[in-house]
Structure 1
């Protein structure tokens, strides 16, 4: 498969519905990881205490300069259906659960900022199906 830039696809009219319906979850996650790797030395904002917020509040959480906003700035991911840079936009578009997104963007793991490299590493863990020992232990005890 030949890779083309968004601009190349746009010039031949191959964007829009095609990208929305044909960009598999693994490709969306891989693209997000690549975008984060491109800003690997940048410090990105985190979201505070996502695990403690009520579901409706958590869904609307956002901040400038987060790993989610890095994805939202990408025209290919927007054309594929990423509608915004909120917590809920990311869980829906990337088809990940709260725990997975929490590990990428939450303050409790990194402090006020996370490097693009660390966020990319967490996205790649999801992509590969690997989980941390802590996550496996928690699943063992909580079901």
Structure 2
């Protein structure tokens, strides 16, 4: 497998694991006083609506970025599509920022759902770094 293809595959896998960890982090009951991030129990005085919206947007951005990255990997989009490359990079970074901000704002505690969520944000950052590395290797500078 070519090194550029391997880099794209690594980016796809990291982003997919990031999505999985984000969903697990949202769904598990490891939030203080709540059943999950969207549903609070009786002793939960906090409102996690903003964090939930950021997480749903992050998952949407990640799915779109993974689809475009898969299209680059399979050769369905040419490597000369600089606008699409920049859009994918922007979506990866925006999703990673949304995940990290949402979880850090939602719960300042150290329960396990929080740690899973922060791991998801870090994996998406690593995915964005891998995509950036691929972007740098495939970009061509034209000298006139």
Higher relative contact order structure (alpha carbons within 8 Å, sequence separation ≥ 6): 2
Bin the TM-score by the shorter chain. Answer: under 0.3
Structure holding more strand per residue: 1
TM-score by length of 1: 0.25
Point out the structure with max Rg over C-alpha: 2
TM-score by length of 2: 0.25
